[in-house]
Amino acid sequence: MSTLTEGLDSPWGLTALPDGDLLVSSRDKGTITRVDAKSGKKTLLGTVPGVAPAGEGGLLGITVSPTFGTDHLVYAYFTTASDNRIARMLYDEKGTTPGHLLGAPDTILRGIPKGSIHNGGRIAFGPDHMLYAGTGETGDRGFAQDKKSLAGKILRMTPDGEPLHGNPQADSVVYSYGHRNVQGLAWDNHKRLWASEFGQDTWDELNLIVPGGNYGWPDVEGKAGKAGKAGFRDPVAQWKTSEASPSGVAFAEGSIWMAGLRGERLWRIPLSGAADKEPLAAPQSFLKGKYGRLRTVLAAGGNKLYLVTSETDTRGTPKPGDDKILVLEVR
């Protein structure tokens, strides 16, 4: 375990550039910063216009275009005064003025409901080169089961923000529903999509996502059990909220790795490959309480992970150096 960089303010999203350097977003400052993957040196790219931080909202997930080498586009999910939205910006890598390296946001999807809580926010490009987004139900439970609402969902869209074939409804970006607050998205080596989800008081979840799947909220929290209701998909693994409160997830070395906020630990969930009902073995936890709240985990190739702490998000107890990007090797 080593520290790549420190002194970050409310870090939330993390993504890697083709050369291995990292981009990190600040939820409350609305900024995107480049971090040198070798030295940890930070360079401010700029502030995203229109971000209106409040509660759990602000500048959240970021990712780069799968064709970044030619289009130089950075995507961001953020809260405005009226909604949550996804926009893309041109990153001028040849620019020489720190803080002024991002072009104006081009909004590709607007109208995702916002709230002081449960804004979701994770975005990522899948193996199909399509853009996925996890959203929250903003504290309004009815949104999760309403297929016409973009809240409480996992969304799938083209890089231009349009619905596409393979979605449950051809004219909708809604991919799955019945979610409370999705903040983690990752694909395994079989190209299956996994998502972490905040429970309310009882169970946090790790779900295997299928197109059109209904994941139960608010009718079910965690596994439905023997008296389960038909039509709801059970999580593959679940935790007490005090042990997890999960945000980011990543896949590496045959396992899903899940960052815990309230749980202040990193969870490993070994996957069996073909089975989708249970993990290969019981989830294991690491780093309990050592670095405080853990927000984001990113696979960096091989057995290497980046881990972002979240002590400066108003719910932690910051120590000197917080917040940090940590580097760890897993197996």
- DSSP letter for each residue of 307-324: EEE-SSSSSS---TT-S-
- The pLDDT tens digits of the residues spanning 31-56 come to 999 999 999 999 999 999 999 999 99
pLDDT at 165: 86
Q: Is 48:28 a contact under the CB 8 Å cutoff?
A: no
Model's pTM, two decimal places? 0.97
pLDDT in tens, 176-208: 999 999 999 999 999 999 999 999 999 999 999
Q: What is the dihedral of CA 151, 156, 162, 167, to 10 degrees?
A: -100
Can you tell me whether residue 280 is helix, strand or coil?
A: coil
What pLDDT, in 10s, does the model give residues 155-176?
Answer: 999 999 999 988 999 999 999 9
